[in-house]
Amino acid sequence: MIDRYLILGLRLGKHVEGFVDSYYGPPEHREQVDGEEPLDPRSLADEAAALRELAAGLEGARGRWLGAQLVGLETTACRLAGDEISWVEEVQRCHGITPRLTGEDEFEEAHALLDETFGDADGQRRWRESQTVPADRLQAAAAVLTQDARARTRELFGLPDGEDTVIELASREPWAAYNYYQGRLRSRVAINTDLPTPSYFLADLGPHELYAGHHTEHAWKEDLLVRAQGILEESLTVIGTPQTTVSEGIAMVAAKILYGDELHERVAELLQPLGIPYDARGARTMERVEPALRKAGDNMAWFLNEERRPLEEVVEYGMRWRRLPREHVEKTIEFILDPTWRAYSACYTNGRELVERYVDGDRARFRRLLTEQLTPADLVL
């Protein structure tokens, strides 16, 4: 069954660019699929349904995990076959979460906090511009912060022997940063330079993408599940599944788990020798309001994908409530309209809320997330 699951994910990847986030499983499966013409999506949906029946017969966490994954794969195949699936239904079936609209009163409270620190929207804009990382120092800054996060992760959660990471710059992508897990305990992280990078974004970047976020999770699961136990389904990561909801939740809380209330002072200390501005007070305010303002992005995804509101109306909504320049809002919209990523956009806020409630400050629970097969349903206590 597991071989069929891996091949199914790879076959769907031939239809959707970027759908296979990572694969380091049996190379013969990749060779087989690479040598095939793309298969009819309806047949792939049927295969997912058949495998879901088999997964239902497996006991314990592994059966639940595979069953949830296969609902996501079947949904993607059905969309490719032409089935009408609403955005809300797609998020529910692919990611195991139910998106919801957030009232503007929550955004107004966030804006009030911002104004206490920055004065008004213009003051916040000027502050953000003052925190821009010079392009020629961006990679070095990310490397310094990542090295510190790696040391903390090793101390708190350990790391598999031989793990390693590389950071590089990219452009013309719909995301701000991305982890490419390559197997053999290695990750390559790309930072998008299409827009200016504020230094407070870097405070979260290393923990989110690498330590103790995506890379740490992938490396531990490769070491403990794939290598040690032969749980080969973990060698495939595919977009549009509950696997990615949990993974984004882990990444969204990684910085807080590692540093607690010391995060911003530590980042300022590390960046100071590089001559990079970092206002800890302002960054702390941004951290407080970011969960609420991200929900404005979820509302934008709902408006565009579910309600089909006019694009310009949603751009203006994003500029108002996200308090970001037009080019930043348009980059967000590029992501939430992308056929591959439109449902994924709901993973960040919902994944964070699930993981925060589940972990509740308990690092032993966080380690469980890094090392075990858990679904969003498993995190509802």
Question: How far apart are alpha carbons 230 and 248 in whole angstroms?
Answer: 24
Instruction: Provide the domain limits for residue 308.
Output: 104-379
For the stretch 109-160, pLDDT in tens is 999 999 999 999 999 999 999 999 999 999 999 999 999 999 999 999 999 9
Phi, psi of 190 (to 5 degrees): -110, 135
How high is the pLDDT of residue 73?
98
**pLDDT band per the 50, 70, 90 thresholds, residue 64:** very high
**pLDDT band per the 50, 70, 90 thresholds, residue 93:** very high
The distance of Cα 45 from the centroid of its chain, to the nearest Å, equals 25
pLDDT exceeds 90 at position 174: no
Within-domain flag for 97 = no
Same domain (yes/no): 325, 255: yes
Same domain (yes/no): 64, 108: no
Domain boundary among 54, 85, 116: 85
How high is the pLDDT of residue 59?
86
Question: What value, to the nearest 5°, has the Cα angle with vertex 83 and ends 78 and 84?
Answer: 130
Same domain (yes/no): 127, 157: yes
**pLDDT band per the 50, 70, 90 thresholds, residue 176:** confident
With contact defined as beta carbons under 8 Å apart, do 94 and 343 qualify?
yes
Same domain (yes/no): 66, 161: no
Within-domain flag for 57 = yes
Same domain (yes/no): 234, 156: yes
Domain boundary among 23, 53, 85: 85
Domain count, the chain: 2
Which ranges of 19-165 does DSSP label H, i.e. alpha helix?
27-34, 41-55, 60-80, 87-95, 104-118, 121-130, 138-157
pTM recorded for the entire structure: 0.96
